[in-house]
């Protein structure tokens, strides 16, 4: 394949790629400690073709810094990204916080090394519930009996955190309201904007980015509620990579300052992190009675 971007699953067709669909477990292999081509995965939280188009300058930058070819990977969904990391098909990945926790529960051979920082230099972000500007919904307690739009089941800010927020209001998913999984954050926002669901949850930074870019009409929508701070997206790598390469990768991201390249991560920069920073999400999963080993 002569494309420099590889896409696993149905998202590939959205970007016009040509490939055969093979289940990831069938491709399982041990991690190459010093790969000639470093495979970097970005989260499929928006349209795959958009991610691919925007990531090319990042790929070229990393190739120069690391002295080797870099291939950006976009998976169909969070679950396939987790499996790709688990079976050694990805070397480095930008996970969502909860998808990282799920991945770590299945693949102890991975480690977080950097966390995205917001414009204030904070390693946290929030989730928001949005509704139409003229919606009669004034409080989350009014979600009872409604269809509520979430993103991917493994998404932190488009499922885990907002679902916990509703549970704090005494509303349990599938018991007190209908859970509608729509895949990506932008799909949730569009579903609310077009009236397909009366209420939806997504990352605040993604929501603000969609409004700023004109992909959403901010005048038609309003934020109904906001979550407590969530640990931001971690950069994760295979533990089995060569020690010197791991240090190069760590340095490349911690020293990344170019705003254009950082747009790929919706971050102003990266700070150091470790696995312990994500224990709060493990605690949230317990509150929701989610068995991490059974989440898809």
Query: Are 39 and 137 members of one domain?
Result: no
- Render pLDDT for 143-167 as a digit per residue (tens, 0 to 9): 999 999 999 988 899 999 999 999 9
Q: Could you give the number of structural domains in the chain?
A: 2
- In Å, how far from its chain's centre is CA 60? 22
Residue where a domain terminates, one of 206, 228, 250:
228
Of 21 and 258, which is predicted with more confidence?
258
Q: What is the mean pLDDT of residues 244-251?
A: 97
Query: Are 251 and 289 members of one domain?
Result: yes
Instruction: Give me the pLDDT at residue 293, please.
Output: 59
Count of beta carbons in the 10 Å neighbourhood of residue 204? 18
3-class SS of residue 145? coil
Query: Are 237 and 93 members of one domain?
Result: yes
- Render pLDDT for 156-210 as a digit per residue (tens, 0 to 9): 999 999 999 999 899 999 999 999 999 999 999 999 999 999 999 999 999 999 9
Residue where a domain terminates, one of 228, 243, 258:
228
Of 291, 290, 277, nearest in space to 95 by CA = 277
Q: Which two tokens stand for residue 198?
A: 């009366």
Q: Please classify residue 90 by burial: count the beta carbons closer than 10 Å to its beta carbon, then call 0-12 exposed, 13-18 middle and 19+ buried.
A: buried
Query: Are 65 and 136 members of one domain?
Result: no
3-class SS of residue 245? helix
**Contact at 8 Å (CB) between 249 and 66?**
yes
- Render pLDDT for 113-145 as a digit per residue (tens, 0 to 9): 999 998 889 999 999 999 999 999 999 999 999
Query: Are 14 and 142 members of one domain?
Result: no
* Cα–Cα distance measured from residue 249 to residue 254, given in angstroms and rounded to the nearest whole number: 9
**Contact at 8 Å (CB) between 249 and 93?**
no
**Contact at 8 Å (CB) between 68 and 8?**
no
Residue where a domain terminates, one of 207, 228, 249:
228
3-class SS of residue 9? coil
**Contact at 8 Å (CB) between 102 and 108?**
no
Query: Are 176 and 238 members of one domain?
Result: no
Query: Are 89 and 115 members of one domain?
Result: yes
Query: Are 104 and 194 members of one domain?
Result: no
Query: Are 67 and 107 members of one domain?
Result: yes
**Contact at 8 Å (CB) between 118 and 124?**
yes
> What is the domain extent for residue 199?
127-228
Of 196, 191, 211, nearest in space to 151 by CA = 191
Query: Are 108 and 243 members of one domain?
Result: yes
Instruction: Give me the pLDDT at residue 36, please.
Output: 95
Query: Are 249 and 221 members of one domain?
Result: no
Among 1-5, 18-22, 240-244, the range of highest mean pLDDT? 240-244
- Render pLDDT for 58-102 as a digit per residue (tens, 0 to 9): 999 999 999 999 998 888 888 899 999 999 999 999 999 989 999
Q: What is the pTM of this model?
A: 0.75
3-class SS of residue 284? helix
Instruction: Give me the pLDDT at residue 285, please.
Output: 87
3-class SS of residue 235? strand
Query: Are 29 and 92 members of one domain?
Result: yes
CATH of the domain at 83: 3.40.190.10
- Render pLDDT for 4-54 as a digit per residue (tens, 0 to 9): 334 443 333 233 332 222 233 333 446 789 999 999 999 877 777 788 788
């Amino acid at each position: 394949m002569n494309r420099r971007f590889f896409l696993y699953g149905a998202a590939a067709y959205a970007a016009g790629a040509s490939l055969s669909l093979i289940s990831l477990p069938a491709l399982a292999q041990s991690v190459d400690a010093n790969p000639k081509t470093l495979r970097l995965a970005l989260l499929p939280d928006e349209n795959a073709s958009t991610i691919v188009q925007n990531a090319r300058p990042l790929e070229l930058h990393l190739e120069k810094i690391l002295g080797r070819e870099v291939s950006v990977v976009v998976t169909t969904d969070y679950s396939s990204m987790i499996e790709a990391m688990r079976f050694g098909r990805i070397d480095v990945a930008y996970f969502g916080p909860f998808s990282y926790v799920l991945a770590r529960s299945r693949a102890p051979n991975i480690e977080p090394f950097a966390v995205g920082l917001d414009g204030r230099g904070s390693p946290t972000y929030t989730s928001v519930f949005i509704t139409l500007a003229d919606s009669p919904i004034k409080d989350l307690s009014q979600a009872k009996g409604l269809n509520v739009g979430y993103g991917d089941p493994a998404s932190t800010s488009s499922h885990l955190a907002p679902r916990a927020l509703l549970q704090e209001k005494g509303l349990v998913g599938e018991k007190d309201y209908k859970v509608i999984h729509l895949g990506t954050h932008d799909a949730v926002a569009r579903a609310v904007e077009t009236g397909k669901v009366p209420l939806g949850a997504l990352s605040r930074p993604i929501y603000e980015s969609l409004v700023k870019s004109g992909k959403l009409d901010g005048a038609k929508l309003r934020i109904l509620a906001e979550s407590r701070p969530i640990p931001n997206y971690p950069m994760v790598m295979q533990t089995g990579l060569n020690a010197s390469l791991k240090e190069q990768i760590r340095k490349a991201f911690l020293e990344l300052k170019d705003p254009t390249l950082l747009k790929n991560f919706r971050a102003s920069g990266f700070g150091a992190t470790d696995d312990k920073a994500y224990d709060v999400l493990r605690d949230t999963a317990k509150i929701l009675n989610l068995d991490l080993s059974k989440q898809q």
